[in-house]
Structure 1
Amino acid sequence: MTAPTSTAPTRPASRVIADDAEALAVATGLAAQFRDGAAERDASRHLPRAELDLLSASGLLAITVPAEHGGADVGAQTLAEVFRLLASADASLAQIPQSHFVYVNVLRRQGTPAQQGFFFAELLAGRRFGNAQSEAGTKHVQDIRTRLTRVSDDAFRIDGVKQYSTGALFADWIPVLARAEDDTLQVAYVAADAAGVSVVDDWAGMGQRTTASGTVRLDSVTVSADRIVPHHLTFTGPQLHGAVAQLLHAAIDVGIAAGALSEAVAFVRTKSRPWFESGFDTAAEDPLLIQRFRELSVRLRAAEALLSVAARAVDEAAADLTDDTAAEASVAVAAAKAFAGEAAVELGSALFEVSGTRAVLDSLNLNRHWRDARTHTLHDPARWKIQHIGRYVLNGTRPPRHGLL
């Protein structure tokens, strides 16, 4: 393996989190910090570089590093709760490290001992992974045309264009999904400042506006063979790659729903006027509003419960990984994700229903919750998750082995 050097920018030393309880405490504190300023960051599209540096320094980005490498090695339940907490404060900020943890998992499953030793040390030092996986203009999301071409015994060249590359603009390392000359799927971990890499901040979505999910161009980028991981092997047996990735997406949706409900509660308590027919002095006493908040609270609690069940299923499968346990985990996550997406969109919209006309002022930017939910829930279609759940329940058909379920 080549010498373990890093060209990452100098940042404050990263905390090393010891266990699940510490991870949750740190995430709770960061969420409180990130909540202040979230509306303004979205309104002005001010990218959260300082906040991401705080996230790196907090040690949260290394909490899935295995214990034998010095990490907290937290389970899926803790990881999902960390994402839920962060997303309840700032959904864009929570989205940025989602792929970071996905590609940590690739290393955990397919990395060599030398690769794991190097990259897990990078993570403990606060380094960040981005992603360069999705491509536009192809037949479908699995049609990967970025290519790895061997140029010597220990080096390859990467050429391709990636879009929706969340996290790449802020990354120290960019995991690139590419196909080798034999068409097998590989992940190349490319230094963000490598020659031939350009990251373009051209994301202009209506929601998740500060994720900087732009374009990555790879023009004859040289990468050593020891920075390449055989990702295709991930799907040759029972796996939780897709379940973990989708669990984090579900946690983001649940967080968005929680953030929207919290804003609605605060607005009705402090800013809303009662409807004149209610006969009450405050909007919070209006029985029709109370009824609607009951309904929204139940919706959120159901989403939280499904998320918890799904995370527990992933942890149980990780402890005893078989085709059956992996299938059960994937189905549980699919159910949580499908429900959470609907809940996030509903609560993001209902915020205005219960708050009234004053809530639509641009200066408040309360519509960011709905915009974030509507944008994020388009990541992959819930209708296919429901399809796989139905096949599993009715006919016992295990869901397919791919990274989107």
Structure 2
Amino acid sequence: MSEPTGTRHATDRGGDDPAAIAGALAGRLAEGAGDRDAERRLPYAEVAGIAADGLLGISVPTAHGGPGAGPATVAEVLRLIGTADLSIAQVLQPHFAFLNALRLRGGPAARQRLYSDVLKGTLVANAQAERGGAHSHDQQARLERAASGGWTLTGTKFYATGSLFAGWLAVTAKADVPGEAEPQTHIAFVPREAPGLHVEDDWNGMGQRTTGSGTVRLDRVEVADELVLPHYLTFREPTTYGAYAQLLHSAIDVGLARGALTEAARFVRTTSRPWSESGATEASADPLTVQRFGELEVQVRAAEALLSTAAGRVADADAGPTDASTAEASISVAAAKVAGGAAAVDVAGALFEVAGTRSAGEDLNLHRFWRDARTHTLHDPARWKVQHIGRYSLNGQRPPRHGQI
């Protein structure tokens, strides 16, 4: 993605904070979201606009010239954008998650190079999931030492969110480590245009149609030594890496739930007709419809509250990472993820229940909310979140350290 002109920090706009900028942006993104999805029109211009608004650099630490926005601010930005277009919000999730990995494990040279590009408006995408192994994170991609002192990277990645829009790809791969019995997971930051790196526009999911999640093929791609991070060390000590990444996923779900409920209310007020037995002259006065909206509003507000609490726990743990504080952060995020995912799927489905037959018209494309929610919530199963919460609640057992908590 080329550098947008006039890129500024989100905090440089006359006192506007990132959430205010994201809120205004969400209003513009909502206008074309249905058409982009229906036509699978990839949002190159929209992503460039986000970069030009300075939102890509909000989490860059102040020591590197950025605003240093914390978890709550970043989550709120993704939540707000998620109310309008889950696909675009999802493009941003790995960007911020891997910038956090860079903060935790990157050396001075890697931080300087990546942060500088991000502040200029460059997007970082992920390339981590694979097929053919025991599970999607069973890494077959390999990093091998090169004679030059750097590395060569070979492998194939799928569902590489945002890879079609990115200037950098964060690629996970295994590498031999002296003293370790097995190869260990590293992150290699690779320029999008690096020789031997190819991105295919082949995502065909029923939802999240415009995330630019292509297949990434890497054929002996050369990577500088300073751009390879020992990611495995992140999980050998208490950090907020997994909680932070999952917090952002939760924010996207919660945002979609609010967006779907807002759209349902608009449709009922402007288009739906009341049920014949209701005695109401307008659909918005049908008592059973009002009741259902009340139930859905409670569900969405509960998810929003859990998200806010989780963001606070992640910030607290990041300020003082201990086994206890990071476990509490992970459990709080897990609760938000369970509630947010359920709210997204439930409200997106209930949209048709409250809006009536007219809402099912293909030309309206209101089913994009449900397709997006159902697809995004497949990212990692909520049932395992509930398991970890139950073990923690009943037996005080802390959750494992990995990126899926």
Aligned to 1:301: 301
What count of residue pairs does the alignment treat as equivalent?
Answer: 398
Whether the 8 Å contact between 1:198 and 1:217 is mirrored in structure 2 is yes
Q: CA deviation at 1:10?
A: 4.2
| 1:21 CA displacement | 5.6
Corresponding residue for residue 109 of structure 1: 104
Q: Amino acid of the residue matched to residue 299 of structure 2?
A: R
Alignment partner of 2:142 out of 130, 139, 147: 147
Paired position in structure 1 for 2:10: 17
Instruction: Specify every segment of 5 or more residues in structure 2 that has no aligned partner in the other structure, as ranges.
Output: 178-182
Aligned to 2:160, what secondary structure does the other structure show?
A: coil
Which of 50, 65, 72 matches 1:70?
Answer: 65
TM-score under structure 2 length normalisation: 0.96
Q: Which residue is equivalent to 1:129?
A: 124
CA distance in 1, matches of 2:90, 2:40: 15
Q: Is it true that 1:118 corresponds to 2:113 in the alignment?
A: yes
Q: Secondary structure at the match of 1:328?
A: helix
1:115 CA displacement: 1.5
Shift of 1:401: 0.6
**Deviation (angstroms), 1:118:** 1.6
Name structure 1 gaps, 5 residues minimum: 1-7
Q: Is the 8 A contact 1:250 1:337 kept in 2?
A: yes
* Amino acid aligned to 1:390: G
Q: TM-score, normalised by structure 1?
A: 0.96
- Contact map agreement 1:13 1:126 (CA 8 A) in 2: no
Aligned: 1:230 with 2:225: no
Amino acid at match of 1:105: N
Residue in 2 that maps onto 1:322: 322
Task: Quote the residue 1:50 is aligned against.
Answer: 45
User: Does residue 89 of the first structure (1) align with residue 84 of the second (2)?
Assistant: yes
Whole-Å separation in 1 of the counterparts to 2:335 and 2:4: 40
Given residue 64 of structure 1, which amino acid in structure 2 is its aligned partner?
S
Residue 4 of structure 1 corresponds to none
Alpha-carbon separation, structure 1, partners of 2:148 and 2:48:
37
Give 3-state SS (helix, strand or coil) of 1:168's partner: coil
Cα-Cα RMSD: 1.2
Partner of 1:176: 171
CA deviation map 1:376-405 (0-9, x unaligned): 000001111110111111111110010110
1:17·1:71 contact (CA, 8 Å) conserved in 2? no
Q: CA deviation at 1:154?
A: 2.2
* 192-201 or 273-282: bigger deviation: 273-282
1:37 maps onto 2:41 in alignment:
no
> Which is worse superposed, 370-379 or 147-156?
147-156
What SS does the aligned partner of 1:98 have? helix
Tell me the equivalent position of 1:381.
Answer: 381
For 2:342 and 2:249, the matched residues in 1 are separated by: 13
User: Take 1:377 and 1:21, find their aligned partners in 2: how far apart are those partners?
Assistant: 32
- 2:19, 2:291 → 1: CA distance? 32
Shift of 1:153: 4.5
Contact 1:154 1:226 in 2 (8 A): no
How far, CA to CA, are the matches of 2:153 and 2:292 in structure 1? 54
* Structure 1 segments of 4+ aligned residues over 4 angstroms from their partners: none
Secondary structure of 2:124's counterpart equals: coil
Aligned-partner Cα distance in 1 for 2:80–2:380: 22
Give the deviation of 1:49 after TM superposition.
0.3
* Aligned ranges 1:169-318 → 2 under 5 Å: 169-182=164-177, 183-318=183-318
